[in-house]
Structure 1
Amino acid sequence: MTRLLDPFEEIDRFLGNASRNQGVRMPMDAYEKDGTYTLKFDLAGADAEHVDLTVEHGLLTVTAERRHEADPADVNWLIRERPTGTHSRQVRLGDRLDAGNVSANYDAGVLTVTIPIRPESQPQKVQIDTRSREAIDA
Structure 2
Amino acid sequence: MLRFDPFHDIDTVARQLLGEGTGTTRAPRFMPMDLFKVGDHYVLNADLPGVDPGSVDVSVDNGTLTLRAQRSSPSEEGVQWIASERFVGTFMRQLSLGDNVDADKISATYNNGVLSVTVPIADKAKPRRIEISGTSQPKTIEASSGN
1:63 and 2:68 are equivalent in the alignment:
yes
TM-score normalized by the length of structure 1:
0.77
> Quick check: 2:27–2:88 contact (8 Å CA) kept in 1?
yes
- How do 1:1-138 and structure 2 match up within 5 A? 13=21, 16=23, 18=25, 21=27, 24-71=29-76, 73=78, 75=80, 77-129=81-133, 132-133=138-139
State the superposition RMSD in angstroms: 2.8
Any stretches of 5+ residues in structure 1 without a counterpart? 1-5
Q: What SS does the corresponding residue of 2:67 show, helix, strand or coil?
A: strand
Q: Compared with structure 1, are the counterparts of its residues 74 and 39 closer, same or farther at alpha carbon in structure 2 (3 Å cutoff)? A: closer
Query: Using a 3 Å threshold, how does the CA distance of structure 1 residues 100 and 68 change in structure 2: closer, same or farther?
Result: same
Q: CA offset at residue 117 of structure 1?
A: 0.3
Q: Output the CA distance in 1 between the equivalents of 2:56 and 2:113.
A: 10
Deviation, structure 1 residue 72:
7.3
Once residues 27 and 79 of structure 2 are traced to their aligned partners in structure 1, the CA distance between those partners, rounded to angstroms, is 24
Secondary structure of 1:65's aligned partner: strand
CA shift, 1:74, in A, is 5.2
Q: Distance in 2 between matches of 1:16 and 1:107?
A: 30
Q: 1:116 to 1:74 in 2, by over 3 A?
A: closer
Q: TM-score, normalised by structure 2?
A: 0.72
Q: Among the aligned pairs, what percent are the same residue?
A: 36
Q: Deviations over 1:84-137 (max 9, x none)?
A: 0112100111110111110000111111000110011011112345753489xx
The aligned residue for residue 3 of structure 1 is none
